[in-house]
């Protein structure tokens, strides 16, 4: 933890307004990380690489992480004034305002985001890992993050992979294309809410209309199966 906080101080001294945040890691590995603001990430990354003291010249791992919208239920203690009937001093019932504390469960949704995590090592100083991370604004339409490929070439394929599987758009990447999925593929398979299509290889054909009409015949004709197994029928009519 000492080391990461020292690095944070060094970054803040060198890059004014860097907006670096310390993220503790409760696991026994104690690999704490620094969250960078996307605006200053390239400047901070360049500093981390070029600073003679830090010299994080080796970017080992780039990883996308998906954090979907999270519904958080929490119990809130509320104090509110109520009127209660109490025994008065002269034996009569008297209404009196008192304060009552009740517990109320509230639900709110924490907006989701995509995250890119970078593991840095220093080959020159034989140190590491330093974990840096960045968050997108949301998971739907603002999924841009600055690319660190101009700083560490090692991110080239790994950022392409995070783009391919998570949909993080790395601005400034020299060649941002899908890498593992095929170019026509539309979705982002590593996201937590990804649903597999029934047929990966479905393509519309000029005969779709014909097949649809054939399907109508089949529904009426389902009672007699002329020796064609149900499986084959399905294949024959698509």
Partner 1 sequence: MSVAETKLEKPTGWNRPPVIEPDGEGELLEVAMGPHHPSTHGVFRMDVALDGERVVRLKPVFGYLHRNHEKIAEGASYLASMPYTDRLDYFCSLTNNWAYALAVENLVGQPVPERAEYLRVILAELTRIQNHASSIGFLIQEMGASGTPLMYAFKEREKILDLFESLTGSRMMCNYMRFGGCRVDVSAPWLDAARKVVAGLPEFVDEFEALLSTNEILMARCQGVGILRQDLAVNAGVSGPMLRATGVNYDIRKVDHYGIYDRFQFRVPLGDHGDIYDRYMVRVLEMRESIKILEQALRDLPAGPIMDPKAKIRGFRPKAGEAYGRIEAPKGELGFYLISDGGPNPYRYRVRPPSLINLTILEDMCLGHNVADVVLIFGSVDIVLGEVDR
Residue 182 found at the interface with partner 1 (CB under 8 A): yes
* Touching partner 1, residues 113-132 (CB under 8 A): 117, 119, 123, 126, 129, 131
Residue 27 found at the interface with partner 1 (CB under 8 A): yes
Residue 190 found at the interface with partner 1 (CB under 8 A): yes
Q: From the CB of 35, what's the least distance to partner 1, in Å?
A: 13
Q: From the CB of 161, what's the least distance to partner 1, in Å?
A: 8
Residue 60 found at the interface with partner 1 (CB under 8 A): yes
Residue 211 found at the interface with partner 1 (CB under 8 A): no
Question: What are the two backbone dihedrals, phi and then psi, of residue 50, each rounded to the nearest 5 degrees?
Answer: -90, -20
Residue 26 found at the interface with partner 1 (CB under 8 A): yes
Q: From the CB of 183, what's the least distance to partner 1, in Å?
A: 10
Site string (61-90) toward partner 1, x via CB under 8 A: x-x-x-------------------------
* Residue 24 DSSP label: -
Residue 156 found at the interface with partner 1 (CB under 8 A): yes
What are residue 29's DSSP bridge partners? none
Q: Which is nearer to partner 1, 199 or 209 (CB)?
A: 199
Q: From the CB of 116, what's the least distance to partner 1, in Å?
A: 11
Rg, Å, the chain Cα set: 29
Question: What are the two backbone dihedrals, phi and then psi, of residue 216, each rounded to the nearest 5 degrees?
Answer: -60, -45
Q: Please report the DSSP string for 13-55 in residue order.
A: HHSTT---EEE---STT---EEEPPGGGHHHHHHHHHH-TTT-
Near partner 1 by CB under 8 A: residue from 1, 9, 13, 25: 25
By the 8 A CB rule, do 183 and 78 touch? no
What burial letters (b/e) apply to 8-20, b meaning 16+ CB within 10 Å? Answer: bebbeebbeebeb
Q: Which two tokens stand for residue 60?
A: 């080992």
With the CA atoms of 37, 42, 45 and 49 taken in that order, what torsion angle do they form, in degrees rounded to the nearest 10? -170
| Pairing outcome for strands 70-87 and 93-110 | antiparallel
Q: Which residues contact 94 (CB under 8 A, 6 or more apart)?
A: 85, 86, 87, 88
By the 8 A CB rule, do 13 and 95 touch? no
Binding window for partner 1 (CB under 8 A); candidates: 1-9, 85-93, 181-189, 210-218: 181-189
Binding window for partner 1 (CB under 8 A); candidates: 5-13, 76-84, 182-190, 218-226: 182-190
What residues make contact with partner 1 under the rule CB under 8 A? 25-29, 31, 57-61, 63, 65, 117, 119, 123, 126, 129, 131, 150, 152-158, 165, 174, 178-182, 189-190
């Amino acid at each position: 933890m000492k080391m990461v906080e020292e690095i944070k101080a060094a970054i803040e001294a060198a890059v004014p307004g860097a907006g670096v945040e310390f993220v503790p890691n409760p696991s026994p590995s104690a690999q704490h990380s620094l969250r960078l603001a996307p605006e200053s990430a390239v400047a901070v990354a360049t500093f981390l690489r070029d600073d003679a003291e830090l010299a994080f010249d080796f970017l080992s791992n780039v990883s996308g992480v998906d954090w979907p919208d999270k519904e958080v239920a929490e119990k809130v203690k509320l104090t509110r004034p109520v009127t209660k009937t109490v025994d008065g001093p002269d034996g009569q019932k008297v209404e009196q305002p008192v304060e009552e504390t009740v517990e109320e469960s509230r639900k709110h949704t924490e907006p989701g985001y995509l995250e890119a995590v970078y593991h840095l090592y220093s080959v020159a100083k034989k140190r590491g890992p330093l974990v840096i991370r960045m968050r997108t604004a949301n998971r739907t339409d603002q999924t841009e993050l600055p690319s660190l490929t101009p700083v560490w070439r090692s991110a080239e394929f790994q950022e392409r992979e995070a783009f391919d599987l998570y949909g993080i758009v790395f601005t400034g990447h020299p060649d941002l294309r899908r890498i593992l999925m095929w170019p026509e593929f539309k979705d982002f398979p590593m996201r937590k809410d990804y649903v597999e299509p029934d047929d990966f290889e479905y393509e519309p054909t000029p005969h779709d209309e014909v097949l649809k009409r054939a399907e109508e015949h089949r529904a009426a004709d389902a009672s007699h199966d002329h020796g064609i197994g149900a499986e084959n029928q399905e294949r024959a009519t698509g």
